[in-house]
Amino acid sequence: MRLLVISIIILQVGLVESLKEVSGYLGDNVTLPSGADPSWTLSKIEWSIFPNNTWIATSRNGKKSIERFYRYKGRLSLDTTTGDLTIHNLNRQDTMEYSVDLDNTAGQDSANKIKLTVTERLQKPTIRTAASIPENGGCWVVLQCSSADQGVEFTWQVEPSVATDINTQDRHGSSAVHVAFLNTTRSDVQFTCTSSKNKENNTCSVTPHCSVEPTPPVLPESRCRYGLAVVGGAILGIFLSAVVMYFFGEKIKAVWGFITGKQRQSNNSAETEA
C-alpha cells in the first residue's frame, strides 16, 4: 500500500510543470537548468520553444543534436548528464519561454518550463574632475559623473563626509554634478558615484586632491578612466561655472546674512541696554 502511494506521488511530481525564471545579460552566456533529478540517468532530453514546440536541442539515447534551429546555430551546448542547456552570446530575441522534456533510463519522465529574460548590463559610470578652484585652506572641487546608459539615477557618497557639498542631476539623467569643498589637510576623501536603473547599479570612486599651485585650476585626476565622452565641453563648462557661482552666491548670501544678523543682534542688545 505504502509503495503504491509513493509511486503515485513520484508519478505526479514527474508530471508537474513548474515555471522557473532565469535572467541573462546581452552578449553573455546563460544556463537553463533542466530541473532533472540528479539521481536520474537521462535517456532523452528535448529542449523546445514556441507553442508548436520547435526543437532547438535534443539528445536521444546518446545522440546529441544542437543545430536544429537557425536562430541558435553555433550558440548552444547541452549537458547530457544534467540536461542543462547553455545559450551563448545572448541576444534580445532569446527572451522567451523554453520547455524541456526528460526521460530516464528507468522509464520515468518529467517536464519543465524556463522563462528567460535577456537584459542589458549597466555600464560603469565615469567621474571627471571638471574643476578645482583654490580657496583659503583648500579648494572647491566640481566632479561630474556620467553614464553611457540612458535614464539612470545617480547618487553620491562621500567618505568621510565633508561639511560642504551639493548635488545636481541634469534633467535628462545623463550626468550628475557634485560640488564639494576640500580642505588641503584632507587628501583621503573618497567620492563615489553610483548609477542605478531597474535594481541594478554600478559605481566609480575617485579621491581628488587640491592642487598646491593656484594655476592651472583644472585637475584631470581620476581613477575611473573609461572612454570619456567629450560632449559639449564648452556648454558643460558654462553650466559648471553657473553651479559654482550659484553656490558661491549662496555662501556670500549666508555670510552677508550672518553679518547683518550680528549687526541687528548688537543693535537689539544696544536697545535693551538703553
Interacting residues with ligand NAG (CB under 6 A): 28-29, 50, 52, 54, 88, 136-138, 155, 183, 185, 194, 196, 201
CB of 216 to ligand NAG, least distance (A): 22
CB of 70 to ligand NAG, least distance (A): 10
Residue of 230, 189, 160 lying closest to 220 (CA atoms): 230
> Coil, strand or helix: which one is 31?
strand
Nearer to ligand NAG among residue 54 and residue 80 (C-beta): 54
Nearer to ligand NAG among residue 59 and residue 195 (C-beta): 195
Phi, psi of 222 (to 5 degrees): -165, 140
Handedness of CA 251, 253, 259, 265 (dihedral sign): negative
Asked if 59 and 80 touch (Cβ cutoff 8 Å), the reply is yes
- Residue 246 CA, chain-centre distance (Å), reads 32
Nearer to ligand NAG among residue 43 and residue 132 (C-beta): 132
CB of 8 to ligand NAG, least distance (A): 35
Pairing of strands 96-104, 30-32: unpaired
Nearer to ligand NAG among residue 82 and residue 108 (C-beta): 82
Nearer to ligand NAG among residue 50 and residue 105 (C-beta): 50
Radius of gyration, CA atoms only, the chain: 31
Residue 260: Cβ-neighbour burial (10 angstroms; 0-12, 13-18, 19+): exposed
CB of 53 to ligand NAG, least distance (A): 8
CB of 185 to ligand NAG, least distance (A): 4
CB of 241 to ligand NAG, least distance (A): 22
Residue of 57, 2, 63 lying closest to 34 (CA atoms): 57
CA angle, 43 as apex, 17 and 39 as ends, to 5°?
A: 70
Nearer to ligand NAG among residue 71 and residue 223 (C-beta): 71
